[in-house]
């Protein structure tokens, strides 16, 4: 979840020098005040004491990760930091010398799962437990109790890989590893603490391009756990993507806590300077031009992010940018959206969907839309919920992440106890939306039927455990496809969709090729 659903939220023509002023702006965007605040915190972290000098440096690590795409992207960054320091991933089933739990606290359930993972990791004897991420930011006392050592709980005061590098070097720097420097320049914009250095385990990699949110949706704890907005420079992102492609990844997902705040000091659009600049579109243009990258996705966008410039940039790279957008709705009622403090209304949302459909339709097939919806927000009436159902039917989502409202301590909505919707109604509304999507002839099947008899392109991800000789992979429209073919993991397969079995499209293979271009538009 958020990267921007509060649950799961989530661009350069610049590199070639065609927009040098935009590039210069990204490199210097953070305000002096924000830089001073972060640097003060960095110097505090520098003073973290070595907790036990008698302990030998760890040789193996394990990272357990919970939560959103940004957390998963951070996991890869943290692993690169550890591998740079000579550590190897622990063998599955064996304890690691260093156990890291990268936590999530966006819902009560996610926080409980994070605590459970920490307790399980702590059972490993002779291991050091490091707790990182949003649970630390939302409840530091509890996190310190879980680790048993205050310096072994790291929130988001610093970019995560930099914080872990600093922590590790403070504990065990041995002269071979240059301690991570925390100068103003290395903190902001969002730095790359270590280049990716691990061969691809998955064909798809998340690249974190932005961190932090200050939009303060009334249900979301993220502005507390990740309050500082940071942006990677376009050249850094491009370099990272080139390296990931060299390591064998075929698809990249650009992820951020608030993707549309990429290149801005704030996620609040009314306060953004340089509103006419289109940094995300510039980044997409640069990344889509990386040689060897087969597919590019964006993690999450909302109406204020989806400008005509961004849409035309997405449409200008039909061979790489997929026709799929994740557009968190949260509610189809303006009354609820206002109380959620969202920065759009239903009409803005539908206008975005219509513009994206017009710009990204291919061969008569509209783009796929996925979304996040919260059921039972405090004060949500039956009529509000019916409006949400009507919007879901109007948009025709391929998939909806549906969550019951979960009060998070420290947020405004958690204080509106007198308006809480009873548990049973929240659960029933969730069930209703899941049924709307997944039942026979439901929203998902209706969209996937539109793909039938059309040529699809999919990325072979794993052998199909239910169909002998078949491979499974997501097509460009994000639907799962099973195809009978002899191929390698990571191959691009062109196939013709023939039928739908449950949640999988069955297709007949035409070709498998590492360099197969995506379908031409129209
Ligand atoms: S507060 Fe920020 S991260 Fe949370 S849901 Fe709102 S926009 Fe997304």
Structural tokens at position 125: 């004897």
* Domain 1-322: assigned CATH number: 3.40.50.12160
- pLDDT above 70 (res 24): no
| Ligand 1 center to 213 CA (angstroms) | 6
| Ligand 1 center to 2 CA (angstroms) | 7
Give tens-digit pLDDT for 188-223.
456 666 667 666 667 888 899 998 999 999 999 999
Residue 504 banded pLDDT, cuts 50, 70, 90 = very high
Ligand 1 atom showing the smallest separation from residue 226 Cα:
3
| Ligand 1 center to 47 CA (angstroms) | 32
Closest of 447, 114, 376 to residue 219, by C-alpha: 376
- pLDDT above 60 (res 43): no
Question: Position of tokens 């999507």?
Answer: 437
What's the CA gap between 188 and 28, in Å, rounded? 8
Closest of 315, 317, 387 to residue 350, by C-alpha: 387
- pLDDT above 50 (res 314): yes
Residue 34 banded pLDDT, cuts 50, 70, 90 = very low
Structural tokens at position 167: 């922590």
Specify the DSSP element, H or E, that contains 71.
helix 69-84
- pLDDT above 80 (res 54): no
Over range 41-70, report the average pLDDT: 65
Ligand 1 atom showing the smallest separation from residue 341 Cα:
6
> How does the average pLDDT of the chain come out, rounded?
83
Ligand 1 atom showing the smallest separation from residue 213 Cα:
2
Residue whose Cα lies nearest atom 8 of ligand 1: it is: 4
Residue whose Cα lies nearest atom 4 of ligand 1: it is: 6
| Ligand 1 center to 316 CA (angstroms) | 29
What's the CA gap between 236 and 505, in Å, rounded? 37
Over range 488-498, report the average pLDDT: 90
Please give the pLDDT value at position 107: 81
Give tens-digit pLDDT for 390-419.
999 999 999 999 999 999 888 999 999 999
Give tens-digit pLDDT for 434-488.
999 999 999 999 999 999 888 899 999 999 999 999 999 999 999 999 999 988 8
Of 35-39, 304-308, 411-415, the one with minimum mean pLDDT is 35-39
Structural tokens at position 227: 């309050």
Of 146-150, 175-179, 242-246, the one with minimum mean pLDDT is 175-179
Return the top range by mean pLDDT from 68-82, 101-115, 340-354: 340-354
Structural tokens at position 313: 């940039």
Please give the share of the chain, as a percent, with pLDDT higher than 90: 52
Give tens-digit pLDDT for 249-279.
999 999 999 999 998 889 998 888 766 678 9
Contacts of residue 31, Cβ cutoff 8 Å, sequence gap at least 6 = 265
Structural tokens at position 141: 């006392």
Please give the pLDDT value at position 122: 84
Question: What global pTM score does this model have?
Answer: 0.79
- pLDDT above 90 (res 356): yes
Over range 154-172, report the average pLDDT: 85
Domain boundaries, the chain: 1-322, 451-513
- pLDDT above 90 (res 81): no
Contacts of residue 267, Cβ cutoff 8 Å, sequence gap at least 6 = 212, 213, 214, 215, 229, 258, 260, 261
Asked if 218 contacts 412 with a C-beta cutoff of 8 angstroms, the reply is: yes
Residue 55 banded pLDDT, cuts 50, 70, 90 = low
Closest of 307, 58, 77 to residue 192, by C-alpha: 77
| Ligand 1 center to 172 CA (angstroms) | 37
Tell me, letter by letter, the H, E, C secondary structure of 258-289: CHHHCCCCCCCHHHCCCCCCCHHHHHHHHHCC
Higher pLDDT, 191 or 329: 329
Please give the pLDDT value at position 191: 60
Of 38-52, 73-87, 395-409, 418-432, the one with minimum mean pLDDT is 38-52
Closest of 426, 432, 340 to residue 375, by C-alpha: 426
DSSP 8-state code for residue 88: E
The set of protein residues with a Cβ atom below 6 angstroms from ligand 1 is 2, 4-6, 9, 213, 215-217, 220, 222-223, 257-258, 267
**What is the rounded (10 degree) CA torsion for 429, 387, 367, 341?**
-90
No. of helices (H) and no. of strands (E), the chain: 17, 18
Please give the pLDDT value at position 162: 85
Of 169-178, 218-227, 513-522, the one with minimum mean pLDDT is 513-522
Going from the C-alpha of 305 to that of each of 141, 325, 356, the distances in angstroms are 36, 12, 12
Task: Mention the CATH class of domain 451-513.
Answer: mainly beta
Over range 50-56, report the average pLDDT: 49
Asked if 393 contacts 437 with a C-beta cutoff of 8 angstroms, the reply is: no
Of 37-51, 111-125, 370-384, the one with minimum mean pLDDT is 37-51
Structural tokens at position 423: 């548990």
Instruction: Determine the residue of 8, 222, 224 to mutate for testing ligand 1's pocket, defined as the one with the most ligand atoms within 8 A of the Cβ atom.
Output: 222
Structural tokens at position 250: 């075929």
Ligand 1 atom showing the smallest separation from residue 257 Cα:
3
Please give the pLDDT value at position 324: 97
**What is the rounded (10 degree) CA torsion for 253, 258, 259, 263?**
-130
Instruction: Determine the residue of 8, 104, 156, 215 to mutate for testing ligand 1's pocket, defined as the one with the most ligand atoms within 8 A of the Cβ atom.
Output: 215
Instruction: Determine the residue of 213, 343, 371 to mutate for testing ligand 1's pocket, defined as the one with the most ligand atoms within 8 A of the Cβ atom.
Output: 213
Other CB atoms within 10 Å distance of the CB of residue 221 = 24
Asked if 508 contacts 466 with a C-beta cutoff of 8 angstroms, the reply is: no
- pLDDT above 50 (res 16): no
Asked if residue 206 has a cis previous peptide bond (ω within 30° of 0), the answer is no
**What is the rounded (10 degree) CA torsion for 353, 356, 361, 365?**
-20
């Amino acid at each position: 979840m958020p990267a921007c659903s509060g649950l799961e939220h989530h661009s350069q023509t610049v590199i070639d020098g065609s927009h040098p002023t935009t590039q210069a702006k990204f490199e210097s965007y953070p305000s002096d005040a924000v830089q001073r605040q972060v640097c003060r915190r960095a110097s505090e972290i520098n003073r973290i004491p070595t907790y036990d000098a008698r302990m030998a440096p760890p040789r193996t690590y394990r990272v357990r990760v919970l939560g959103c795409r940004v957390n998963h992207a951070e996991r890869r960054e943290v692993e690169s930091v550890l591998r740079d320091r000579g550590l190897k991933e622990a063998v599955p089933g064996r304890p690691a010398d260093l156990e890291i739990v990268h936590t999530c606290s966006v819902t009560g359930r996610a926080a409980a799962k994070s605590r459970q993972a920490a307790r399980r990791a702590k059972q490993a004897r002779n291991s050091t437990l490091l707790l990182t991420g949003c649970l630390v930011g939302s409840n530091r006392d509890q996190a310190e109790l879980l680790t048993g050592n205050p310096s072994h709980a790291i929130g988001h005061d610093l970019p995560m890989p930099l914080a872990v590098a600093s922590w590790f070097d403070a504990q065990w720097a041995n002269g071979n590893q240059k301690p991570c420097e925390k100068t103003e320049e290395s903190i902001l914009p969002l730095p790359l603490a270590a280049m990716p250095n691990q061969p691809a385990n998955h064909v798809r990699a998340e690249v974190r391009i932005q961190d932090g949110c200050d939009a303060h949706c009334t249900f979301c704890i993220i502005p507390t756990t990740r309050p500082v907005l940071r942006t990677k420079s376009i050249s850094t992102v491009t370099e990272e993507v080139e390296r990931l492609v060299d390591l064998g990844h075929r698809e990249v997902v650009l992820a951020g806590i608030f993707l549309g705040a990429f290149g801005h000091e704030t996620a609040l659009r009314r306060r953004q300077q340089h509103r006419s600049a289109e940094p995300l579109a510039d980044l997409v243009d640069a990344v889509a031009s990386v040689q060897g990258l087969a597919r590019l996705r964006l993690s999450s966008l909302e109406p204020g992010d989806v400008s005509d410039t961004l849409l035309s940039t997405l449409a200008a790279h039909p061979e790489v940018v997929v026709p799929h957008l994740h557009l968190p709705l949260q509610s189809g009622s303006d009354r609820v959206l206002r109380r959620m403090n969202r920065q759009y209304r239903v009409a803005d949302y539908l206008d975005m969907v219509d513009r994206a459909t017009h710009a990204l339709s291919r061969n008569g097939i509209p783009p796929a839309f996925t979304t996040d919806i919260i059921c039972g927000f405090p004060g949500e009436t039956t009529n509000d919920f019916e409006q949400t159902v009507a919007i879901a039917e109007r948009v025709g989502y391929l998939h909806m992440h549906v969550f019951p409202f979960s009060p998070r301590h420290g947020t405004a909505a958690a204080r509106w106890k007198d308006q809480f919707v009873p548990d049973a109604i929240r659960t029933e509304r969730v069930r209703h939306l899941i049924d709307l999507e997944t039942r026979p002839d439901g929203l998902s099947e209706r969209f996937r039927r539109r793909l039938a008899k059309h040529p699809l392109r999919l990325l072979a991800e794993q052998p199909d455990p239910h169909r002998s000789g078949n491979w499974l992979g997501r097509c460009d429209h994000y639907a799962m496809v099973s195809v009978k073919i002899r191929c390698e993991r990571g191959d691009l397969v062109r196939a013709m969709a023939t039928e739908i079995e449950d949640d999988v499209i069955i297709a007949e293979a035409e070709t498998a090729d590492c360099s197969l271009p995506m379908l031409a538009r129209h």
